[in-house]
Amino acid sequence: MFQTIRQRPLVAAAIYWFVLTFIGQSLFTLYILIFYGRASVTGDWTAANDVLPDGMIPGDGAGNAVLFFHLLFGALITFGGLLQLIPRVRMKYPRFHRWNGRLYMLSAVVMSLGGFYVAWGRGEIGSGYATSINGVVILICAYFATRFAMARNFMRHQPWAIRLFLAVSGVWFLRVFIMLWVLLFGPEGLGEDLGGPAGVGLNYAQFIVPIMLFELYRWAQRSKTPAVHWSVAATLFICSTLMGAGIGMAWLFLWLPNL
């Protein structure tokens, strides 16, 4: 992902984005493990159900099991994906990278299938379409990332693996985007259960915007024009800074109060 000296602005922008993402997703992983882990150990899902719509429903054993493993794989996949993106880990520990990648692919597939059930089996119609499209994108990216990895075509494997990471991170991006929206505009437009125009838009933006910015980054990488490098790097710096503000809001108002 990080390449030549002549692309220094892009390199700096990519590192800046990754550092913020690493911090934000590490905090999210900590929140999932502590908050939902505590509910799992104690068996008291009252607080969790206040946060999670259609959470643990009495009598719905199959649905509750799907939801539990969906959350568990969510924690595993969030931190595991971050490790996959670190070049030093890939180069110094290739065996770990391969096995962690296999676990990541499996978790991505399980999580996307679980997302289909949570979206439609429990009546979350408002976000069901966006969740389903995101799930399909995850499965497509997982297929091509796996296919090219098995063929040892790592030049084509890497962009698909990063697209997979971005698509899988949609649940995290959604929370960051929501809190950024609240910071900039307040709750206006979000609606109940994200049913308002802004809420619906953010449900799709959670995977569309990160992947579009990655494609913009890849286009700039291929360009030989310094102006392209600088303008795209500036765009990525601005977007990453906004993302950082959303991470801070999410930590202060969504995650930390529930720990």
Average pLDDT over residues 232-245: 98
Q: Is residue 124 within 8 Å of 131, Cβ to Cβ?
A: yes
Helix ranges restricted to H, the chain:
8-31, 37-42, 46-51, 61-84, 87-92, 94-116, 125-150, 154-168, 170-185, 197-222, 226-250
What pLDDT sits at residue 115?
A: 73
d(CA 83, CA 144): 20
Residue of 196, 205, 221 whose CA lies nearest to 170: 205
Q: Give the pLDDT band of residue 138 (cuts 50, 70, 90).
A: very high
What is the per-residue pLDDT across 31-45, written as a single tens digit (0 to 9) for each?
888 877 776 666 666
pTM: 0.87
d(CA 185, CA 205): 17
Per the structure block, which two tokens stand in for 220? Answer: 């700039």
Q: Is residue 206 within 8 Å of 170, Cβ to Cβ?
A: yes
